[in-house]
Amino acid sequence: MAAIYKRRVEFAETDMAGQVHFSVFFRYMEEAEHAIWRRAGMRIAAEGRTHQWPRISATCDFKSRLRVDDEFEVRTEMAKVSARTIQWAHTMMRGDTLVAQGSVTAVCVQLQADGTFVAVEIPADVLTRLRSALA
């Protein structure tokens, strides 16, 4: 029940220490999650959509360096689902080497008439489709 997202490190993602800057790992994890949304036939960030999914928490443990041109993959699972939130767990591998383990929790919100956001329950069909994209 994990989706695999494959990626290559680009030059602009490195820093002067010769490796991918740690903040970029969070972009990789987000890319992996958004690929799941697309595979589920949805677009998390399309304009005019009813719900938005701001991130409320993110963590990452960095185990091994990623360098330019490295090919790696992000294995993504749903670690925890509550009424309003999804916690995605990401494992990043370069071949057999563990690169990083992280998680990102997103909350389902709806735009109100006054421009603020309110957390709402995740629509059942959205969850069903996301789960099927992981199968």
Interacting residues toward a second copy by CB under 8 A: 10-12, 14-19, 21-24, 26-27, 30-31, 34, 38, 43-47, 52, 54-62, 65, 67-69, 104
Task: Look up residue 79 and give its two tokens.
Answer: 């670690």
Q: Which is nearer to a second copy, 2 or 52 (CB)?
A: 52
Q: Please, which residue, 23 or 110, has the CB nearer to a second copy?
A: 23
Task: Name the minimum Å distance from CB 86 to a second copy.
Answer: 15
Residue with Cβ nearer a second copy (15 or 121) = 15
C-alpha distances (whole Å) from 32 to each of 16, 53, 118 are 26, 15, 26
User: Smallest gap, in angstroms, from Cβ of residue 75 to a second copy?
Assistant: 18
Rounded to the nearest whole angstrom, what is the least distance from the CB of residue 128 to a second copy in the complex? 22
- Cα separation of 27 and 44, whole Å? 15
Q: Least separation, in Å, of the C-beta of 127 and a second copy?
A: 20
Compute the distance between CA of residue 31 and CA of residue 87 in angstroms, rounded to an integer.
15
Nearest residue to 50 (alpha-carbon basis) of 104, 105, 103, 126: 126
Q: Which residues contact 48 (CB under 8 A, 6 or more apart)?
A: none
Q: Which tokens is 40 given? A: 């589920």
Q: Which is nearer to a second copy, 1 or 18 (CB)?
A: 18
